[in-house]
């Protein structure tokens, strides 16, 4: 039996149903008992976020006395706790590519929501658009070369990125359509349907 159940304590994951960084941890925790605390971080849940994480970002994992910020750190913690395979350096690089695209896309979305025209010819937005496409092209070539076939943490993170970019309509996938095929091929994986941000 899971040690949390024996201790009468359960891990808490603080996040939102629309965040791709939170979804990856929900998918990693699919077989584990945990409580999901769904916050509207830009609305009524902001005070709870302020009390929880000074970086004002989600996800946050609370396991007993241990608080963890950042999906990458949370995944490492869960990997040790659950005895999952350690990521290889190549897999770490895959995560860096995925996070590079994801962080820039979050910046674009927040800018658009702030009324900024992100298609303008301005250095900051040119850099974000360039990074999103260079990372996606590299990830698409990796998929075409047969990587990400196994449903492991890097594949989960790629799935969450691609599905979120599609959900938010943030990129033109015509140049990187292998990523859409990858996403479509993994729709039936455990927990994917239940964590669909469109159902939020
Ligand atoms: N590096 C962080 C990124 C997390 C992140 O950016 N989360 C977004 C939600 S998708 C967030 O909390 N954004 C709040 C903000 O940027 O103010 C991680 O991997 O957990």
Q: Please check whether residue 136 is in contact with residue 179, taking contact to mean a CB–CB distance below 8 angstroms.
A: yes
Those residues of the chain that have pLDDT short of 50 are: 1, 4-5
Instruction: Report pLDDT for 9.
Output: 85
Nearest CA-CA partner of 104 in 170, 153, 148: 170
CA-nearest residue for atom 11, ligand 1, is 57
What CATH superfamily is the domain 3-82? Glutaredoxin (3.40.30.10)
Name the fold adopted by 89-185.
Answer: Glutathione S-transferase Yfyf (Class Pi); Chain A, domain 2 (1.20.1050)
What is the CA(6)–ligand 1 centre distance, in A? 32
pLDDT tens for residues 110-141?
A: 999 999 999 999 999 999 999 999 999 999 99
Residue spans per domain, the chain: 3-82, 89-185
Specify the pLDDT at position 65: 96
Which residues sit with their C-beta closer than 6 Å to ligand 1? 19-21, 41, 56-59, 70-72, 106
57-93 in b/e burial notation, b at 16+ Cβ within 10 A?
bbbbbbbeeeebbbbbebbbebeeeeeeeebeeebee
């Amino acid at each position: 039996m899971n040690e949390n159940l024996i201790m009468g304590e359960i891990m808490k994951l603080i996040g939102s149903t629309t965040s791709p960084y939170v979804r990856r941890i929900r998918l990693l925790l699919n077989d584990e008992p945990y409580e999901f605390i769904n916050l509207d971080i830009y609305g009524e849940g902001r005070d709870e976020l302020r009390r929880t994480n000074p970086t004002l970002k989600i996800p946050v994992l609370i396991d007993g006395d241990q608080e963890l910020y950042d999906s990458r750190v949370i995944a490492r913690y869960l990997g040790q706790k659950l005895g999952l395979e350690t990521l290889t350096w190549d897999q770490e690089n895959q995560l860096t590519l995925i996070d590079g695209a994801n962080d820039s896309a979050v910046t674009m979305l927040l800018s658009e929501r702030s009324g900024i025209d992100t298609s303008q010819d301005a250095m900051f937005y040119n850099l974000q658009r360039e990074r999103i496409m260079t990372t996606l092209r590299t990830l698409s070539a990796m998929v075409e070369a047969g990587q990400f076939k196994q449903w492991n943490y890097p594949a989960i993170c790629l799935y969450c990125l691609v599905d979120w970019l599609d959900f938010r309509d943030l990129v033109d996938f015509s140049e990187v359509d292998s990523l859409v095929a990858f996403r479509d091929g993994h729709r039936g994986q455990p927990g994917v349907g239940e964590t669909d941000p469109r159902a939020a």
